[in-house]
Amino acid sequence: MLQKPRGTRDFLPEEMEQRREIEMRMRSVAQNWGYREICTPTFETQELYTIRSGEGIINEMYVFEDKGGRKLALRPEGTAAVLRMYVNEAKVLSKPVRWCYLSDCYRYERPQKGRYRQFWQFGAEQIGADTPAGEAEIILLAYEILKATGVRFTFHIGHLAPMKHLLSDLSDVHRKDIMALLDKKNFDGLQKYLEEINAESLFASLKSLLECRTIDEALKICGDMPDKERMCELIKILDSQNIEYRLNLGIVRGLDYYTGMVFEGFADNLGAENQIIGGGSYRLAHLFGGEDVASCGFGIGFDRVMVSIGEFNPQKPPLVSVVYTPDVSDFSFSIAKIFREAGITTELNLLERGIGAQMKHAAKTADYAVVIGKREAKSGKITLKDMKSGEQKELSADSAISVIRGVK
């Protein structure tokens, strides 16, 4: 028996219905904020990803050569392809450009609980608004999308300006090494490293910065620094909207990627692998041949959101099962067509079961049974049975549709 590829999953109808419900909630919020959905290719040129992250990322991707010898990669994330699409197709659009997407992505690594080789990401990108208002909008959009899913989460918002200011006199290599230690909260290692590079005076300031819970506390540590006004305006806007968040100036992942504002979200019930969203402001378009344009966006780990939410019963339309005798199959198919054209989910017996077996099946799967025999076919009516209450009555198809829709 053939098995699915390692690191992939099959989704049965019940799980797909749950996933589609959450997708719909995400899309609805994004659309309400003016973010229009786009779609990019499943595979791109390898260079799209290596041009920013280096050749080392190849080992983490699904890469291949096509028959023409072109080096391609299955997309490992959404943002790079979106900015490539912007440069190729949309540079002349009015700014800001507001786009969202739901993409399946691929990573080549050892599968483990909660991490698969094929996974899904819901994202939004805003291109061309180099303002605190633009950054605030993308944060607020992310917050509202997560709220709409029903997931329980905590939100951390930070800014790289204070950290960059404290490390401004160090080399790029030293900055990256320090960031890696801070990301792991390895303060013993950090102190030792700072001593090795003769920068031990930074230790107290760096550690205090990670403990700041207000912008005023951060300014006391950093003093007058670049982007001070922009950072303060961003926080002012967010505070005016009464969202629940924690200021976290220790968000340091992606220092070589993000340019200022950064944020992360964590599910309350997922344990160690609990990050479900990450985002911030960045500049990528120039890497792909476009002009240097300010952008900001986020990616939501859709699969982790689904795991955090757990099983639930999405609202579904009523299901009607048409139960009929073999001698009235043509009339039964016509009735099913009328119900479907009215937007009602309708299925027919396809296995030549008897009436009793059909009713047993309907009792397991359907909300209503439409029973059709010779008498109903002759009169042009149907017998509608409510499978929950057991009540049944003979009606015209139009009247039965009104009953199913709950129209009095």
Check: CB of residue 117 under 8 Å from CB of residue 106.
yes
DSSP E strands, 349-389: 368-372, 382-386
Domain termination site, one of 309, 328, 350? 309
Q: Are residues 106 and 36 in the same domain?
A: yes
Q: Are residues 338 and 296 in the same domain?
A: no
Domain termination site, one of 287, 309, 331? 309
Q: Are residues 334 and 241 in the same domain?
A: no
Q: How far apart are the first and last CA of the chain?
A: 53
CATH number of 363's domain = 3.40.50.800
Domain contains 5? no
**pLDDT reading at 408 higher than 50:** no
Domain contains 7? no
The amino acid at residue 124 is: A
Check: CB of residue 148 under 8 Å from CB of residue 25.
yes
pTM of the model: 0.92
Q: Are residues 115 and 256 in the same domain?
A: yes
Check: CB of residue 78 under 8 Å from CB of residue 40.
yes
The amino acid at residue 396 is: S
Q: Are residues 227 and 294 in the same domain?
A: yes
393 - beta bridge partners?
A: 384
3-state secondary structure of 401: helix
pLDDT, tens only, 144-202: 999 999 999 999 999 999 988 999 889 988 888 888 888 888 889 999 999 999 988 89
Q: Are residues 300 and 356 in the same domain?
A: no
Domain contains 8? no
Q: Are residues 325 and 259 in the same domain?
A: no
3-state secondary structure of 271: coil
Q: Are residues 279 and 383 in the same domain?
A: no
pLDDT, tens only, 206-228: 989 988 989 999 999 988 888 89
Average pLDDT in the chain:
93
Domain contains 331? yes
Instruction: State the total domains in the chain.
Output: 2
Domain contains 127? yes
Q: How far apart are CA 308 and CA 283, in angstroms?
A: 32
CATH number of 283's domain = 3.30.930.10
Mean pLDDT of 233-243: 96
Domain contains 3? no
Element (H, E) at 115: none
Domain contains 2? no
Annotated binding site for L-histidine: 77-79, 107, 121, 125, 253, 257-258
- What's residue 225's pLDDT? 85
Domain contains 337? yes
Annotated binding site: 77-79, 107, 121, 125, 253, 257-258
Mean pLDDT of 326-335: 95
What residue numbers bound the domain in which 255 lies? Answer: 13-309
pLDDT, tens only, 334-376: 999 999 999 999 999 899 999 999 999 999 999 999 999 999 9
Domain termination site, one of 254, 287, 309? 309
Q: Are residues 156 and 209 in the same domain?
A: yes
- What's residue 254's pLDDT? 61
Q: Are residues 291 and 187 in the same domain?
A: yes
Q: Are residues 80 and 216 in the same domain?
A: yes
Q: How far apart are CA 324 and CA 25, in angstroms?
A: 38
Q: Are residues 60 and 119 in the same domain?
A: yes
Element (H, E) at 92: none
